[in-house]
Amino acid sequence: MCGVTGIVKAHLDETPNEKVLLAMRDAMHHRGPDEAGMYLAKGIGLGHRRLSIIDLSHGQQPMVDEAVGLALVYNGELYNFEQIRAELETAGVEFTSHSDTEVLLRAWQQWGEACVGRLRGMFAFAMWDMRASRIFLVRDHVGIKPLLYAFTRTGDLVFASELKGLLAHPDVERTLDPQALEDYLALGYVPDPKCIYRGIYKLPPGHWLSWRAGEARPPVCVARRPADRAGC
């Protein structure tokens, strides 16, 4: 178990507040007591709490490769990462670690968002495309690993593995959703994509979301396969 979080600014020329990002990240300390990392740049801030399982001495996050323009925060485990790695090595891709985190980053580098269809495992991750100034949020098809997102009062997109990570941001609304509360009392849980708070959403299982920093229109969740599209 790890914890991921991030802030995508509404204005590309702004850098996220470091203290706010640290508060969001460390609100999920219990998800990753082994290591902590952060990446800050114009338009983006990524945070990560790590529970080390694979390649204990490498695989630190956020994993950033400025040469190819990608930055990744990832929570989960890819069951078929060795097969994907072997396929990438056959294609000439070189690796510097044995972590499944690097396999995911190189898979995205090689195949773009189409790589998601090759992944087998439990995962939730955010991939920042520096050249396009676009964030991609992705969740495994069963929804084992959680990922929530919202917009702040100033229009920034924020995301985190847990609700408490989002609520550590001072500009995230905290208004109860009456329908979500009714669902919880009737069902014992709040069905996706809603959250107990209005304006905060769970990324549905098997979906990905993309949003460009500064984009006026809201993001749209898309199923991994067109036949599965259900919206969110």
Q: Note the pLDDT tens digit of each residue in 98-156.
A: 889 999 999 999 999 999 999 999 999 999 999 999 999 999 989 999 999 999 999 99
Query: How far is residue 61's CA from residue 177's CA, in Å, rounded to a whole number?
Result: 34
Q: Which one is catalytic: 2, 115, 195, 221?
A: 2
Report the predicted TM-score, pTM, of the whole model to 2 decimal places.
Answer: 0.90
Res 231: pLDDT: 38
232 is known as an active-site residue: no
Residue 187 lies in a domain: no
In a domain, 40, yes or no: yes
Give per-residue pLDDT as tens, 52-106. 555 444 557 899 999 999 999 999 999 999 999 999 999 989 898 888 999 999 9
Decide: 51 and 76 in contact? Cβ < 8 Å: no
Residue 144 lies in a domain: yes
Q: Is residue 227's pLDDT more than 50?
A: no
Averaged pLDDT score across all residues of the chain:
89
- Residues near 127 by Cβ (< 8 Å), separated by ≥ 6? 70, 71, 72, 105, 108, 135, 136, 138
Please give the C-alpha separations between residue 206 and each of 114, 137, 201, 203, in angstroms, as whole numbers.
13, 11, 15, 9
In a domain, 193, yes or no: no
HSE on the CB side for 51, CA within 13 Å?
12
| Domain range for 62 | 3-172+198-228
Number of domains in the chain: 1
CATH code where residue 42 lies = 3.60.20.10
